[in-house]
Amino acid sequence: MELGQCFLKDSLKQSKSASNLQFHEHIKSLQEKGVKIHHLGFGQSPFPVPQFAQDELKRYSHVGEYLPIRGLLKLREVVCQLHSREDDLHHFKASDVIVGPGSKELIFLLLAVTNGDVLLLAPTWTTYKPQALLSNHTVHKIPTSFDEGWKLTPERLEMVFEENKVKKNSVLIFCNPDNPTGTSYSANELKSLSEVFRKHKLLVVSDEIYSRLSFSGQYTSLAKFYPEGTVVSCGISKWASCGGWRLGYHLYPPHLKAVGDAVASAASQTFTSASAPIQYAAIELLKFGDNSRSYVFHCRRILQAVAKFCCRTLEEHGVHVREPHSGYYIFPDFETIRSGLTARGVTTGTGMCLALLEDTGVAVMAGGPAYLHGDEDLTVRLCYVNFDGAAALTASEELGPKDFDDSFLEKFCAPTVDAINKIVAWVDKMKIA
* Domain segments of the chain as ranges: 17-46+291-431, 51-287
What value does the mean pLDDT take over residues 361-376?
91
DSSP conformation letters of 296-339: HHHHHHHHHHHHHHHHHHHHHTT-B-PPPSSSSEE--B-GGGHH
Q: Which of the following CATH numbers is that of domain 17-46+291-431: 1.10.1200.120, 3.90.550.10, 3.90.1150.10, 3.30.1490.20?
A: 3.90.1150.10
Rounded CA gap, 324 and 327, in Å?
A: 8
Q: Which CATH class is domain 51-287?
A: alpha beta
Mean pLDDT, rounded, for 360-370:
92
pLDDT category, 16, cuts 50, 70, 90? low
Contact 142, 120 (CB under 8 A): yes
Q: What is the pLDDT of residue 1?
A: 55
pLDDT in tens, 257-276: 999 999 999 999 999 999 99
Q: Report pLDDT for 27.
A: 74
Domains 17-46+291-431 and 51-287 share a fold: no
pTM of the entire structure? 0.93
Average pLDDT over residues 196-202: 97
**Does residue 210 sit in helix, strand or coil?**
coil
- What pLDDT does 393 receive? 98
Q: Where residue 12 falls among pLDDT bands split at 50, 70, 90?
A: low
Phi-psi region of 312 (alpha: psi -120 to 50; beta: other; left: phi over 0): alpha
Residue 22 CB coordination number (10 Å): 13
Cα(262)–Cα(247) distance, integer angstroms = 20
